[in-house]
Each structure stands twice: as structure tokens, then as C-alpha cells.
Amino acid sequence: MSAKSPELNYTMRVGLIPRLGNSIPNDPVNWAIDQLSYNKPLKSPAANRSTDPVYEEWPAHLDPGLKERLINVWRWDEARESLRKQHANEERLLRQKLDEAQFKYDLRWFDAAKFNHYGAYGEDPVRQRLGHFWFNHFTIGSYDSFYTAGDFYEHRILKNLNGSFADLLYEATTHYSMLRYLDNVDNVSPNSEQGRHRRQKGKQVGLNDNLAREIMELHSCSPAQGYTEEDIHNAARILAGWGDYAFNPRWAYQDWKSADYPYIRKRADTGTKVVMGKKYGRGSSALKEFTNDLAALDKTREYICHKLALHFISDNPSKKVTQALESSWKNSNGNLLAVHTTLLELAWSEGENKVLWPSHWLFNIVRAADAHYFDSHQDITSWQMGREVVKPMRELGNSFWEERQPNGFPLKSREWISLEHLDRRVRFAQSVWNRAFVTAKPEEIMDHLQVPLSYQSKVMEFGQGHEQFIALTVNRWMMEV
Amino acid sequence: MKRRDFLKLSGGSLALASVPTWARSNNPNRRLVVFFLEGGLDGLSALIPKAEGALESHRESLLPTSLLDLNSHWALDPSLRNTHKLMLSQDILGVHATNFPYTKRSHFEGQNFIQGAGKAPFTESTGWIGRGLDLVNYGGRAMSLDTPLLLRGTTSIDNYYPAHVKGAYNPSSDLLKRIHSGLSEQWQTTNEKLIARVTKNTYQSNDRSPNALAREAGKALSQKDGPIAAMIRLGGYDTHAGQGSRLGSKLTELDLCISSLKDSLGEAWDNTTFITLTEFGRTVKVNGSSGSDHGYGTCMFIGGGAVNGGAVLADWPGLAKSDLFERRDLMATLDSRSLCAAALEHTLGLEHDEIAERVFFEPNLKRVTDRIYL
């Protein structure tokens, strides 16, 4: 098979293939850079049960804001408790009632569906790919963190892609999903008002350093910084008081700064903290000061630039690439718009062989065939139906809506090559062909992808449609850049 | 509790000396299974030094209300019922106060280091089992979608993880052969393995719970031409909060896996070794949310018909504050690499020195094989 066009290859490296019917950009670098300032709402099919769907904006009530979502977490807690009492001896009925109640209060499946639709239909695939990178960098992944995961992606990740890394770090750290996932909701200083009170009552109380550790190890400077256990301990003291389990409107803590930035003073540490030689005082402002300081470290710049290069450019990024990213970071004071622009320029000239994440491969084959594979909001009519939404990406080992470890998905190609991964590609190509209302003929898809005629005739030798589609999508062209 | 070594469960006396030297063999039927406990197992909660006075003051709220006694010094968490039986029947050896020489308490560095076993995290692109398999040119199997670092080498490794994809059937070998030329070299190697599997039609169950994977691993390993090593991942050991019930259910899962593995291996159990690995232990003191934070020393279980079980192997460091690593974690007094090397020596029939040098890059690695095998 001969090489695919550099323009198409580039769209796959930094973005996703334009949907069938849209042309491959002639000036792909500017096509990519223009998307950094894309700000139109997503338009996609409201239901996925038609060959000719109506494209609509994603409904506003499915993005109600963090406060409303947190009140719903509390409402769901209340409902669960009362249903368990009410139907204590009726296991099957209880399960059904619980599913109904959770469906009312928990938007996780709608969030996951929207994420899939961004991938399948978004006109900003480069922005989405950067969003995926940062959503993965700031991994959330416990059951409870998914109550608000859609809000986290939309309003903390996508919204902050063009600002400073310092702001992104602070915004990601202070969101409920992160505070919950890395146990900071349990991080109470022993010298705080609540800490003293609980101790007097003989109850367990103390710091939980999970988020404090990961904010340094995974989110900013990495262990290369050489911080100590004492630094982590003191970072945990800075973070004590950030987060709560839910927002109970009846007796919300009066000292909550806001639902968006849940800081509870009576759990916070009252002393001075020293992290890596720098002193931090009491109060909620210490965290912003701390995340700003982390963002300004040389090791943070090196670590993040290396990760960006690993994901988008090469499994072994050259010095030229990392230095260019780092100098862009330095010159712009860690401004992500500048760093991302440099990345998109470098990706044109410096890109080396990479295996695409399976989620990106699936988005690409769906887009290339103008297929309608992913459930939309109108398809999710029950909690059970909702569960189906995350299954494809789970099956590919690449679901952002699954429990996983805080270091996120691996960035190196090798991690994604295995017998089972290949088996899944073949199955999903078949599944898309069989289930996704593909009306396009293989020839049209191949023209769109600029497949050379010599290979086109090879594909056509595969007898049935789904086999032709497998031949067309499970190959080095579509799986690698 | 005093410092002690190799404590037999039966008597509680020291039983260090005069274990017969292992007679080297190249028995091709030997097998190795790794249960990788992701997140950092709290060794003090799984294999409990119950006679240790400091235990209550450090972590009373983490102690289970009932224990499965092993002897006057050691007990197991009540979730480990099958493990308990197998320890009493001398099929499983407990090892305590052990870890790889990695003290920085990062999951990801730790997991990488324990699998790669190089001089530092992220220095190796192959794993210690992969390098061992390379020396004898045998294959292994990952019971997961991906291929973990631990098994990677140049030798053939395949995977087993049943698919659940709607609207798709098992690919035929004919189809896979026909797409072969369109794949890049790195995928072609993989496709050859997939074709081989499809041809053999070895995909049997679509259950992919850890328990089912352990059962399938046992089945595959018990076949004459089956893989000789397998790895099964069990997640969820990072118990920062509400440790009691969470860890209990994780240990129940591990316990079932061990018992399923034994059952499905049948007679091959006598030729199989399993080991548990985890990236680190956890803090000795309970944290503020009834959990524990990242630590250092932990416990390991090594089992199988040939294992000299029914004992706890430990150079016990004690739990007084001055005995702890950095005054917070259980000290690791036994390098886990020695235990892994022993498992490789037994399974692959290689000399310890060769394993120490070519697999662990540590020529001075202590040999403990005679303490582990009958």
C-alpha cells in the first residue's frame, strides 16, 4: 500500500478525518490552528436511529452547571436511602426503582454520549483531540467522579485550552470530579475546627494525601522534581478543606466559597505550610498560589512538553521538538494557545510513526463512512440504555467514562498493540458496518480517503460489504499516522 | 514480636537451616502465574502480624473484627478463606516485609519498576518475565486486552480477554489472512498470533471477571503446548478511604482467583507457581479517612504444589516507630526480586546467577530458591 496523502495523515495525527462529504483540507496546519479558537456549540443527531438524522444542538438542560449537578448528587443520595428502606425485601423492585431514581439525577451517560458525538460529528476535531489529551492528563476515574465528569470536560478542560497552564491546573484541581476521585473530599486537617471536634468525639480524622501527591507527580512537575514526603504532606495541608461529597441545599456549609469552588474553611489547616522551600499561609488563596508555583517550575514545562510530543508527534520525540515546545512555553509564560500552536506546526514537519488510540480510530472510521454509530441523548431513555453508551470505548480499552488509574491511558504506540486489540479493530469495523446505518459505498469512502486505485481494487476483491469495510479500515493507513 | 525468620506455622519455631538444595531440572511442564495487585496492597491487612503490640495503636480501625489464625503470630484477613486452607495444607507460603527496592511511593513508577525490573523506573522496554522467557524461548499469555510490560520480551506473548462487541462475529482466519498485507509489520506479528488462535478455536468463555480469567489461565497453562507464564491484573488496592470493606472485597476476589486457578490447573498445580505482586505497601498508621496511604514494605503470597508452603517467610523488622521506613512505613527487609528470581529458576530451570545477571541485572541478587521450594 502506498503512503496516504500528507494532508490526510496530518488531520489524523492532530485531529480526526473530516466526515464523508467534507473535503480533506488543502492547508491542514491552518485548518488545525483555526480550530483552537472554535467556539460553536456541538450539532449532532438527536437520535441515532436513522440513515438521515436531524442535526440539533445538544440540549442545554443536559449541561445544567456544577451546582445543579451537585444538588442532584445529594438528591440521589437521599432517594437511594429512602428507597432502600421502602423496598428492603423486594430486591428486584428495589433495583428497578434505584435505576429510575439515578436516571433522574445522574447525567453520566448523557455526558459520555456527548463526548462520543464530539468525536463523531464535531467540526473541531483538533480541539477535541487536545481536549482528550488534557482530559487524560487530568484523569478522573472513580464511579463517584463521573457524576460531574461532563461538566469537568466541558467547563474545566475545553474551556481552558487557550489560557495558561497555571489556570488549567487550578481549574482541574478544584473541580468536584477531581476532588472526589483523588479523595480530597476526605482530606481534613487535624488542627481544623472540624478536625478538633471530631477528635474530641473520638472519631477518625486526618489528612489524605492522594490528590496532593498526584498533583505533583502526574499533573505538574513529576517525580523528576525531587520533592520529599514532607512536601507532599504539606501540599495535603494546603489542599485540606477543598471538596465535599455533595451540595445539600438545606444545610450547605456556610463557608463554601461556591459550588464551583467548594472550599470548607472549618476543615482547612490553620498553620503555615512549606512546600519545596516556599511558605504558604492559611485560607483558600494558598491553593492558587501553590498551583501557580507548580506551573512555573522548569520540570513542569519539561514534563508536559514531553507528554504533548509523545502523544502527537513521536514515541521518541527529538530534542528539536521538545526544545521548540519548551521555548514556546517559556516565551509565552506557559500559555497553552501558544504551546498548542507550536505543537500543530511541528506535527506537520516532524511527525513520526504513531499508532492511534483505538477511540480515535473508531471516530475516524465512523466519520470517514458518514456513519451514525453512537447513541444520542434521545436514545438514552433509561439507566439501562445509558449503560450501553460507554460499551464501545470500554471494549476498545479507551473509555474516558470507566474506572481507571490516575496516570490515564498510555501515550506510547506499543501499549496499544496486542492480539486482542487487533481482534477488536476487526470486530468494530464489522459492527460499524452492520449497525451504523452506513449508506456510503466502499468506493466513495475510498475516494474520500484518497486510497490509491491499486489498493481500491484489492479492497473490492473482498466479497461482502462488511469485509470490504474491514479491509478498508483495519490497515496501516487507518490505524497509524 | 521479636525479629524472626522463616516461621513454620505448625510449631512457630525457627526453621531456617537444612532445607535441601534444589535439584535443578528442566521440567518443561512448569508454569508461572502472576497476580498483579494494582494500587498497592496493604500487606499488614492481608497477612496480619497479630502478635505485634503496636498494631492496635497504629491502626485499630483497619483491623478486621475476626481473623483466620495461622499460628500465634500470624493471621489472615477473613476474606482469604481458600488461601487460609491452602496455607494450612502447606501449598502457599506467605512472605512479609518485602518489596522491590523502590521507595518513592508512586503507583506508576512503582508498577513500571516492578515489571521492568531495571535499575530505575521507565528504563526497560521489556519485563522480567519476558526476559526470562526469552532465555528459554517459551511463550506467555497476558489475561488482558493489552500486553503488560512484565511479559514483554522478544518471545511470543499472546493475550486472552473475551470480546463483547455487538454486531460482530468472530473473525475468520481467511479474513485475517487477507487483511495481512495491509497491516504494518508491528501489527502483522500480532495478526499471525490472532490467526493461530482463530485456527485453534480456543476462545471458549465470554466471562472476563478476574475469577474467570484465572480459570482460563489455569486451563491454558495445564495444556502441554500451552503458555508457560501468565499474568492477571486485579485493580482497586489503592485504599485511601474506607479501607475495611473495600479491601475485604478485593481480597475475596483474589482468594477466589487462587482457588479457581488451582481447580482449573488440576494436576498441573503441582508444577505451577503463582506469586502476587504489588507496587508498594501502605502506611502503618491509619489515615484521616479510615484508609491508608502509599507506603513501602508489604506482603506477598507464593503458592503451588511444589512450594514449601505453610509458613511465613520474614525477617520481621517490627512496627515501633524507629523500626519503620522513614518512620511511617513497614520496612522491606527482603528484596522481592530474589523471590521472583526463585520462581523463574524453578519454572524455567535456569541457574540463579544467569537470572540475576541477565534478567534482573543484579549479579549480587541473593538466592532464596531453597527456602521457597520443597
Candidates A183, A206, A223; nearest CB to B104:
A223
- CA distance linking residue B145 with residue B143, whole number of Å: 7
CB within 8 Å of chain B, chain A residues 195-224: 195, 204-210, 213, 217-218, 223
Is the CB of residue A479 less than 8 Å from the CB of residue B188? no
Which of A113-152 are b and which e, b meaning 16 or more Cβ less than 10 Å from the residue's Cβ?
A: bbbbbbbbbbebbbbbbbbbbbbbbbbbbeeebbbbbbbb
**B355 shares a domain with B238:** yes
User: Quick one: which of B38, B48, B35, B36 has its CA closest to B237?
Assistant: B38
Interface confidence, given as ipTM, is: 0.90
Q: Which chain B residues touch A476 with a CB distance below 8 Å?
A: 182-184, 187
The amino acid at A68: E
Instruction: Kindly state whether residue B198 falls inside one of the protein's structural domains.
Output: yes
A179, A310, A359, A419: best to mutate for the B interface, most B CBs within 10 A: A419
pLDDT value at position B6?
45
DSSP B36: E
With respect to residue B233, please indicate whether it lies within any of the assigned structural domains: yes
Whether B11 shows a pLDDT value over 70: the answer reads: no
Residues in A touching B286 (Cβ below 8 Å): 204, 206
The answer on B300 and B215 residing in a single domain is yes
- Three-state DSSP class for residue A473: helix
Q: Report the alpha-carbon distance of residue A16 to residue B366 in Å, rounded.
A: 53
Amino acid identity for residue A88 in this structure: A
d(CA B353, CA B363): 7
A10 near A32, Cβ under 8 Å? Answer: yes
CA A464 centroid distance within chain? 37
In angstroms, the separation between the Cα of residue A185 and the nearest Cα of chain B is 9
Please check whether residue A395 is in contact with residue A424, taking contact to mean a CB–CB distance below 8 angstroms.
yes
SS3 (DSSP) at B313: strand
Of A209, A424, A430, the CB nearest to B293: A209
CA dist A20 and A447 (Å) reads: 10
| B1 occurs within a structural domain | no
Give me the sign of the Cα torsion angle A453, A455, A460, A466: negative
What are the grid coordinates assigned to A397, written together?
480499552
Q: Do residues B35 and B123 both lie within one domain?
A: yes
- Tell me the nearest-neighbour CA distance from B286 into chain A, angstroms: 9
B287 interfaces chain A, CB cutoff of 8 Å = yes
State the smallest CA–CA distance between residue B299 and chain A in angstroms. Answer: 22
Taking CB atoms and an 8 Å limit, are A206 and B241 in contact across chains?
A: no
Give the C-alpha separation, B227 to B313, whole Å.
Answer: 29
Kindly report the CATH number assigned to the domain that includes residue B267.
Answer: 3.40.720
Q: Which residues contact A240 (CB under 8 A, 6 or more apart)?
A: A187, A188, A189, A192, A207, A267, A268, A269
Which residues touch A13 (CB under 8 Å, ≥6 apart)? A312, A347, A351, A354, A481
Contact residues, chain B, for A392 at CB < 8 Å: 165
Instruction: Report d(CA B28, CA B249) in Å as an integer.
Output: 36
B255 and B180 in a single domain? The answer is no
Chain B contact present for A183, CB below 8 A: yes
Concatenated DSSP letters for B193-260?
A: HHHHHHHHT-------SHHHHHHHHHHHHTSTTS-SEEEEEE-----SSSHHHHHHHHHHHHHHHHHH
**pLDDT category of residue B245 using cuts at 50, 70 and 90:** confident
CA–CA distance, A413 with A12 (Å, rounded to integer): 15
A410's grid cell: 498510555
Same domain, B123 and B258: yes
Sign of CA dihedral A446, A451, A457, A458: negative
Q: Which residues of A are less than 8 Å from B178 in CB distance?
A: 462, 471
Number of domains in chain B: 2
E-assigned strand segments in A86-220 = none
Interchain CB contact of A416 with B (< 8 Å): yes
**Could you give the C-alpha distances from A376 to A106, A364, A372, A389, in angstroms and in order?**
16, 18, 10, 9
Taking chain A (481 residues) in consecutive chunks of 10 residues, what is each chunk's mean pLDDT?
82 97 95 96 88 89 93 91 92 94 97 98 98 98 93 98 98 96 92 90 83 95 94 97 78 63 91 97 96 98 98 98 98 98 98 97 96 94 95 96 88 94 96 89 88 82 88 93 96
- Using CB atoms, which residue from A407, A476, A480 is nearest to B108? A407
Strands B31-37 and B272-278, sheet pairing: parallel
Q: Does B58 touch chain A (CB under 8 A)?
A: no
A contacts of B240 (beta carbons < 8 Å):
183, 186, 208, 210
Opening angle at CA B148, ends B116 and A416, nearest 5: 120
Do B108 and B142 share a domain, yes or no? Answer: yes
Across the interface, whether the CB atoms of B182 and A477 are under 8 A apart is answered: yes
C-alpha cell at A71: 444538588
**Enclosing domain of residue B189:** 163-202
Specify the pLDDT at position A256.
60
From A208, A419, A431, residue closest to B240, measured CB to CB: A208
Residue with cell 492532530: A14
**Residue B271 and residue B243 share a domain:** yes
Q: Which of A188, A455, A470 sits opposite B175 (nearest CB)?
A: A470
Residue B203 forms contact with A (CB below 8 Å): no
Q: Select from A211, A262, A240 the least CA-distant residue to A71.
A: A262
Q: How far is A475 from chain B (nearest CA, A)?
A: 5
> Both B101 and B219 in a single domain?
yes
Q: Is B197 on the interface with A (CB under 8 A)?
A: yes
Residue of A nearest to B172 (CA): A426
With vertex at residue A436, the alpha carbon angle to CA A434 and CA A439, rounded to the nearest 5 degrees, is 90
Q: Which of residues 241-280 of B touch A (CB under 8 A)?
A: 241
CB contact under 8 A, B167 and A418: no
Task: Mark which residues 177-196 of B lie under 8 Å from A by CB.
Answer: 178-179, 181-184, 186-187, 190-191, 193-194
Tell me whether residues A210 and B240 touch, CB distance under 8 A. Answer: yes
- Nearest C-alpha in B relative to A388: B166
> Where does residue B283 rank: exposed (0-12), middle (13-18), buried (19+ CB within 10 A)?
buried
Residue B13 has pLDDT above 60, yes or no: no
* Same domain assignment for residues B198 and B214: no
Q: Which of A207, A397, A470 sits opposite B146 (nearest CB)?
A: A397
Q: For chain A, how far is it from start to end, CA to CA, in angstroms?
A: 14
Specify if B2 maps to a domain: no
- Residue A338, min C-alpha distance to chain B (Å): 30
Q: Which sign, positive or negative, has the C-alpha torsion B319, B324, B328, B330?
A: negative
Choose among B182, B235, B326: nearest Cβ to A471. B182
Q: Is residue B105 a part of any domain in this protein?
A: yes
Residues of B in contact with A442 (CB under 8 A): none
Residue B79 burial (CB count, 10 A): 22
Cell numbers describing residue B71: 499460628
Give A-chain residues touching B104 at CB under 8 angstroms: 223
Angle of helix A6-14 relative to helix A28-35, nearest 10 degrees?
20
Q: Is residue B235 part of a domain?
A: yes
**Is the alpha carbon torsion for B202, B204, B209, B210 positive or negative?**
negative
B338, part of any domain: yes
Together in a domain, B315 and B362: yes
Residues B275 and B231 in one domain: yes
Question: Which among A223, A414, A424 is the nearest to B163, CB-wise?
Answer: A424
Task: Classify burial at B200, counting beta carbons within 10 Å of its beta carbon; exposed 0-12, middle 13-18, buried 19 or more.
Answer: exposed
C-alpha distances in Å from residue A162, one per residue of A41, A130, A338, A345: 17, 11, 8, 16
- Report the Cα B186 to chain-centroid distance in Å: 29
Question: Cell 502526574 belongs to which residue?
Answer: A218
DSSP-derived secondary structure letter, B153 = S
* pLDDT of B10 over the 80 cut: no
- Say what the pLDDT of residue A3 is: 66
Instruction: Identify the CA nearest to A2 among candidates A440, A313, A449, A349.
Output: A449
Q: How far apart are CA B44 and CA B96, in angstroms?
A: 9
- Whether B61 and B198 share a structural domain: no
**Which one, of B279, B333, B309, B318, lies nearest residue B85 by Cα?**
B309
- Strands, DSSP E only, in chain B? 7-8, 31-37, 47-48, 68-69, 75-76, 92-99, 140-142, 157-159, 229-234, 272-278, 298-303, 311-313, 334-335
Other beta carbons within 10 angstroms of residue A316's beta carbon come to 10
Residue A48 to residue A36: CA distance in whole angstroms: 28
Give the span between the Cα atoms of B138 and B350, in whole angstroms. 13
Phi then psi for B300, rounded to 5 degrees? -140, 150
Number of CB pairs, chain A paired with chain B, less than 8 A apart: 160
Cβ partners under 8 Å of residue A346, min gap 6: A309, A313, A321, A324, A325
User: Strand pairing partners for B158?
Assistant: B141
CA A171 from chain centre, in angstroms, equals 14
* Cell 500480532 belongs to residue: B190
Say if the Cβ atoms of A403 and B235 lie within 8 Å: yes
Handedness of CA B245, B249, B254, B256 (dihedral sign): positive
What percent of chain B clears pLDDT 90, i.e. is strictly above it? Answer: 76
Cell, residue A481: 499516522
Rounded to 10 degrees, what is the CA torsion of A25, A26, A27, A31?
A: -10
Q: Does the residue B262 lie in any domain?
A: yes
- Beta-carbon separation of A405 and B235 below 8 A: yes
Report the alpha-carbon distance of residue B56 to residue A343 in Å, rounded: 55
